[in-house]
Copies of this chain bind each other. A is one copy, B any other.
Amino acid sequence: MPEHSLIFPAEEYRRRVSALQSEMARGQLDALLLTTPADVFYTTGFLTRFWESPARPWFVVVPAAGDPVAVIPAIGAELMGRCWIRDIRTWNAPDPVDDGVSLLAETLNSLVPASGRIGIPMGLESHLRMPVGDFLRLQDRIAPRRIADGTGAVYRVREIKSEAEIEKIRASCAIADAAFARVPEFAHQGVPLSRVFCDFQVALLQEGADWVSYVAGGAGQGGYGDVISPADERPLQAGDVLMLDTGAVREGYFCDFDRNFAIGRAADDVRRAHASLYAATEAALTNLRPGMLARDLHRILAEALTREGSVVGGGRLGHGLGLTLTEWPSLTPLDTTELREGMVLTLEPGVEIAPGRILVHEENIVLRAGGPELLSRRAPADLPEIME
């Protein structure tokens, strides 16, 4: 009888669960309790935009051995039933009296010995997607079992992408590549930035995105001030630099990279800034190797920018990528995460051209034994100019 499963063959999920269980054993965890869209998708294949509704919590319990157990609202039973896991327990959510707490506590108590430890991701870049009040009630209901830090167990497994995952991210990157290639069709002098954002999202959908979870960008004379604001109604003008950044999603996997365009002829300082970003990215592509730490890659990028005469600007200089728009680690001077073969990362150097004027540049890579392999199509060395 063929196994049901969504997005990937069941084998892919079994490998993931087995890897999680190895890390759990190292961390002396008797179960993992997972609550976020990415962790639930990662272990089960359960993919839905329904997470957009904050109304209901969803739980997956990974025991020390054996398949995961889903403890979920009844409205998800049909879709979870098409995934590979067979033990699916449901309640009618939202329930103001007991919103799954009893069912989850029973499940944990049956899977974990009384002296056991239940890991949850609780470290940097994590959160628990359930009400705090219910979490406190749950702790009482599972005592003497204790909640423990399961961040490392989850991060060390999820951060290494399988070839199947890398192909999904590559496909999302190709969609963004195709949409970026169409930007000169709709981003002209006089077109409001809000219109450009709209047309760019349409292009991403037409090129194959299932949905567009993230579009940001900016436009300003000789650089932009900010990379996270929604679009405004200001029309593009000659002398602007337009930046578009996207996290388009295909089969649950994100890309995350940006592209810059000069509107009309680019000023010399803008061209130099772009060349410096290009060179810094090139330095990372040439020198990054498995075994380096996140902070080492930050240094490669930052030193290359300085060598080019630029002032490092923007935020971190890159990060992990995959099931969410950004994943750990962060390319900062403080992050000591080891960069290993199979990690998918963004390289995202940024420079400050002048106060309030920055330029950022981003590529997506997978780290191979011999160094980085690009997943995004390399940006042109010279800043493209939209002349019409």
Enumerate chain A interface residues (CB-CB to B < 8 A).
Answer: 36, 38, 47-50, 52-57, 73-76, 78-79, 82, 92, 94-97, 99, 120, 122-133, 135-136, 149, 151, 194, 197-198, 201-202, 205-206, 210-216, 225-231, 247, 314-316, 319, 324-326, 328, 330, 332, 334-336
Contact = CB atoms under 8 A, between A and B. Distances in A.
Contacts of A319: 55
Nearest to A82: B229
A387 to B, nearest CB: 27
A53 B130 contact: no
Given A55-B330, A201-B211, A126 B131 contact: yes
A74 B313 CA distance: 12
A97 B78 CA distance: 43
A125 B131 contact: yes
A130 B127 contact: yes
A75 B198 contact: no
24 contacts: A48-B216, A50-B216, A54-B126, A55-B125, A55-B319, A57-B127, A75-B227, A75-B228, A78-B225, A78-B226, A79-B228, A94-B124, A94-B332, A95-B332, A96-B334, A96-B336, A127-B129, A128-B132, A133-B149, A201-B205, A201-B211, A202-B205, A202-B206, A211-B215
A224 to B, nearest CB: 10
In the A-B complex, the 6 residue pairs with the smallest Cβ-Cβ separation, listed nearest first, are A122-B132, A50-B228, A53-B326, A122-B133, A78-B226, A75-B315
Contact of A228 (B48, B99, B210): B48
A192 to B, nearest CB: 12
Contacts of A75: 227-228, 314-315
Contacts of A213: 49, 52
Contacts of A78: 225-226, 229
B124 A99 contact: yes
Contacts of A126: 54, 131-133
B96 A49 contact: no
Identical chains bound together, number: 2
Given A50-B228, A124-B99, A205-B202, A316 B94 contact: yes
A303 to B, nearest CB: 19
Contacts of A226: 78-79
A79 to B, nearest CB: 5
Contact of A216 (B49, B54, B136): B49
Nearest to A47: B230
A335 B96 contact: yes
A96 to B, nearest CB: 5
Contacts of A206: 198, 202
Contact of A247 (B52, B94, B247, B316): B52
Contacts of A326: 53-55
A53 B78 CA distance: 29
A231 to B, nearest CB: 8
A220 B328 CA distance: 40
Nearest to A56: B125
A359 to B, nearest CB: 15
Contacts of A212: 201, 211-212
B247 A54 contact: no
B95 A334 contact: yes
Contacts of A97: 334
Contacts of A92: 315, 332
B124 A215 contact: no
A120 B136 CA distance: 14
B210 A230 contact: yes
Contacts of A95: 332, 334
A53 B324 contact: yes
Contacts of A125: 54-56, 94, 131
